[in-house]
Structure 1
Amino acid sequence: MLALVLPRHWHLRLFLRPTDCISHLLQEPPFWEADAWNQQQLIGLWREGKPLIPQILAYWSRYTERYALSRVCVVDFSMPGMDGLQVLSELADWPGARVLLTGQADEQVAVRAFNRGLIDQFIPKQTQDISRRLIEAVEHLLFSSHARHAQMWRSTLTQEQSALLRNPGVDAWLTNFCLKHWVEHVVIGAPFGVLGMDAAGKVAWLQLETRQGLQALAELAELAGVAGADLEEIRAGTRLADIELRQALSSSHPVSLMNAFAVGEPGGLLGAVFAVETRNGPDPENSYSRWLARQPKRHVQD
């Protein structure tokens, strides 16, 4: 049933036997560690003066193994031999998120497990439209940053930038924007913005600017050859220039200006989206959609 109703753009592994699922997931922690180490290396090189954006693009293109890491595990509470919580207790070293499917008789057990932090979500099987509920729960967990990764990348932000992003209106706006447009994204502080990639491997830069920083941006734009009405639009916050993006990519192309929009509540943070040149982007063959097409067809492992 799950194989039929869950989105085709998700990479799924379906296990009939809990022991097989446990065995598979317990092979993953070393690969999670390797991926975290690779990301930490990018930040370490950035601290030494190497721009982050080209490094992230190279990482996205090179390390397709990250697509195979299981981000969410969904288990039924009632199973022969061992229940769902017993399965999850065997996975203490596996760092992904956990969802428990429960029957009516199991709900109090699930509530206690949730309160103890043993599971991230539970869904009663008698819920109307359970497939929609399950998809929404898994999608939310897939899109949530792993705590370790979030901590690493948060270190690239200033205190002011972190405070801006924690604003509930900004946080919700960015979450919805990224979920709508990208399968992967990362928020960085230098330059300040969000680098995102869609399933086809196309990359875009969501530049973030405070209104207090518009004058400094206009000054940089003027030095880069922007003049006249374009400068006035930058100062007014109606358009933004991709100067720092082009500096990070060592691009010799002319500065691009794009219409600005409010990120969250009007009057606060501003944003504008810029396409990242193809020659700087990841290899399309290593995009998520191409990788997924190369995987075996979805089946239940018995």
Structure 2
Amino acid sequence: MSKTRLAPYFHPTQIVLVDDDIDFLGNLSLQLEADLPYLLFDSTEKALAYINDRDDESPSRQRFFRLEDEQEGRRHVTLDTDALAREMHFTNRFSRISIAMIDYAMPRMNGLEFCRRIRDPHIKKILFTGVATETEAVEGFNDGVIDRYIRKSEHNVYEHLNRTIRELQHAHILETFKTAIDVFDIEMPPLLGDEAIAELLGTLRSRYEFVEYYMVFNPAGFLLIDGDGELYRLVIVDELEQQALVDQAAALGAPAECVRLLRSGENLLDPAFMSRAQNVTSDAYRHWKSHMRVAECINGARNYRWAVFESDPGEHGMSRPRSTFNRYLEWLDTMGYSLM
């Protein structure tokens, strides 16, 4: 399972920042990128209680898998795309804690001891350290107590911090997912093991400003969701999958020009439009041109073509999430400090 580069879903998760210097916490909150959800604590006891009391809220990691059949003692387990679709409707998904970041020099309990007392092994730990405590930070890192340490005095410290947080948010979800798949005999979709697909999602994040993604199939790709809950459908197909789309369009009575453009590999048709065409009259393809996009190439473990389509609510069998990330950030702005 080590070949899995991507989890089949991602959504922002909560960061807990702990420091007894309230002025430092206030300045730190101004330096974090605006779309990073965080809570501030000036007490190690309050922060640790908050983190550990939320253990029971973590959903089962096995929820993304479905047992198809069992023959000769061998289980055939598949990725449950319906479960992935349900994930974006969990109202508490953004409040799941992925990262705890704490200053080393804290009263009553230093930062390393705080990290040792966090019960959830999947929560990533970042230690803020000064020159005098760097040796302890290195030992904590080598012992696996913390995942990163950052010197408060280093050049471009906040740029480093923002980059590290984003990296660890993804690592948290991926490792949580891989913990589940390690107990199953399951072949993961090739897209999740291809570094080129991970890079593509990173590129599209800035272009479409999406904050969540969820894997979908028929055809393969991802549902992208921005901070306001707007949906985009990323289609990614290899040569065989592209041919299947051509055959499907031809079987549904698509015009010859439409089929020709699809067969050339230079264009892709909105899968939601093709789905609707199965249930309407023969003139369903009358407006097909407005639902076609130029396909871009990406060369990874396979040669892929991809395109992004805007999605209306209800398309692809999925509705917009009612709990959006921007609404969650608004809640943090009004309620976050009350937990200190």
Verify same fold: TM over 0.5: yes
Deviation at 1:143, TM superposition (A): 3.2
Partner of 2:8: none
Q: Is the 8 A contact 1:193 1:206 kept in 2?
A: yes
2:145 corresponds to 1:107 = no
One-letter code aligned to 1:224? L
Rounded to whole Å, the distance in 2 between the matches of 1:257 and 1:125 is 51
- Distance in 2 of aligned mates of 1:169 and 1:9: 25
Aligned runs of 1:20-169 on 2, under 5 Å?
A: 20-33=46-59, 36=61, 39-40=63-64, 43-44=65-66, 56-61=84-89, 63-93=90-120, 95-144=122-171, 145-150=173-178, 158=187, 161-162=189-190, 165-169=192-196
Matches within 5 A, 1:206-285: 206-243=234-271, 247=275, 256-264=291-299, 268-280=303-315, 281-283=318-320, 285=322
Change over 3 Å in CA distance of 1:245–1:110 after alignment to 2: farther
Give the Cα separation in 2 of the matches to 1:168 and 1:53: 21
* C-alpha deviation, 1:57, in angstroms: 4.3
What's 2:11 paired with? none
Pick closer, same or farther for the CA change 1:251–1:70 going to 2, 3 Å: farther
- SS state of the match for residue 269, structure 1? strand
Distance 1:191 1:6 in 2: 37
Instruction: State how far apart, in whole Å, the 1-side matches of 2:97 and 2:146 are.
Output: 15
**Map of 1:14 onto structure 2:** 40
What residue is the counterpart of 2:324 in the other structure? Answer: 287
Equivalent residue letter for 1:14: L
Mind listing any 5+ residue stretches in structure 2 that lack a counterpart? 1-26, 70-75
Cα distance in 2 between the residues matched to 1:137 and 1:76: 16
Give the C-alpha shift of residue 158 in structure 1: 5.0
Structure 2 vs 1, CA of residues 28 and 267 (structure 1 numbering), >3 Å: closer, same or farther?
closer
Cα distance per residue 1:91-119 (max 9 Å; x no partner): 03353221111112322332333233322
Give the partner amino acid of 2:250. Answer: E
> How far 1:142 sits from its partner (Å)?
2.1
* Change in 2 beyond 3 A, CA 1:251/1:264: farther
How far residue 11 of structure 1 moved from its aligned partner, in angstroms, is: 2.4
CA drift at 1:278: 1.6
User: Distance between the aligned counterparts of 1:79 and 1:294, measured in 2?
Assistant: 28
Task: State the shift of 1:297 in Å.
Answer: 4.5
Q: 1:245 to 1:196 in 2, by over 3 A?
A: farther
- The alignment's C-alpha RMSD in Å is 3.6
- Does the CA-based 8 Å contact 2:224-2:233 persist in structure 1? yes
The change in CA–CA distance for 1:118 and 1:8 in structure 2 (over 3 A counts) is: same
Q: How does 1:159-198 map to 2 (within 5 A)?
A: 161-162=189-190, 165-178=192-205, 181-188=209-216, 191-198=219-226
Mapped contact 2:298–2:304 kept (Cα < 8 A): yes
Q: Give the one of 292, 296, 299 matched to 2:337.
A: 299
Q: How big is each residue's C-alpha offset from its partner over 1:55-106, in whole Å with a ceiling of 9 and x where there is no partner?
A: 6445423x11112112211111121222111001000335322111111232
* 1:205 aligned to which of 233, 239, 243: 233
**TM-aligned CA distance change 1:10 to 1:207, over 3 Å:** same
Give the residue type in structure 1 aligned to 2:328. W
Q: Which amino acid counterpart does residue 289 of structure 1 have in structure 2?
A: N
Q: Aligned letter for 2:196?
A: G
Q: Secondary structure at the match of 1:263?
A: strand
Which amino acid counterpart does residue 11 of structure 1 have in structure 2? P
- Unaligned 5+ segments in structure 1 are none
Count of paired positions: 294
Contact 2:295 2:305 in 1 (8 A): yes
2:15 aligned partner: none
In 2, distance between residues paired with 1:30 and 1:245? 42
| Partner SS, residue 164 of structure 2 | helix
